Amino acid sequence: MSKIGKINISIPDKVKVALSGNNVNVEGPFGKKTLSIDTTNFDLKINEGKNISIKPKKNDQNSKRLWGMNRSLLNNAIIGADKGYEKILELVGVGYRASNSGQKLEISLGFSHNIVLQLPNEVKVETISEKGANPVIKLTSFDKQLVGMVAAKIRSFRKPEPYKGKGILYDGEKIIRKAGKTGK
């Protein structure tokens, strides 16, 4: 039995969930998403628009593995449609800058050229640059996986290094610093 799969998913008032064939349509104030769920292996019930339960039709090894994952994907889609997801990245380093115009993000990370990244339409970007503080990139979306992938892509341009602590950090991330060379 799956511990996560057994828990019912509550549906907020602003979110609408509809089942059509193998697809589950989730629509809310932040956006809409369609998930494909294998109805040959799983039984999906929407109880009076208040909660959703998902149960496997067969009790074999494969359905046990997929039960909790399908429940989590459905729960993430409902939370994303209701509240949305947010990732905050901080640029730590001398001369590191970020600016955006629409869905185009331009980052200066000390390379010989600026990095220009075209973001998907589902991800909203905001850059915050205050005097005396590190520049911040704020990404918001209704899709948890997409906002995480975009944040990871931006972070991959300059991962934090342990000697000076420079790089692109997630909000609240702590870097364990290493001691440099000690010579006599």
Q: Does the pLDDT value for residue 180 go beyond 90?
A: no
Mean pLDDT, the chain, as a whole number?
A: 91
Phi, psi of 87 (to 5 degrees): -125, 135
Q: Does the pLDDT value for residue 74 go beyond 90?
A: yes
Q: Tell me the C-alpha distance between 176 and 170, whole Å.
A: 14
Sheet containing 9-10: order of strands? 9-10, 51-56, 42-47
Q: Is 125 helix (H, G, I), strand (E, B) or coil?
A: strand
pLDDT for 157: 96
Q: Does the pLDDT value for residue 170 go beyond 80?
A: yes
Question: Where residue 139 falls among pLDDT bands split at 50, 70, 90?
Answer: very high
Q: Tell me the C-alpha distance between 138 and 128, whole Å.
A: 8
Find the distance separating the first CA and the last CA of the chain, reported in whole Å: 62
- Residue type at 170 in one-letter notation: Y
Q: Does the pLDDT value for residue 184 go beyond 80?
A: no
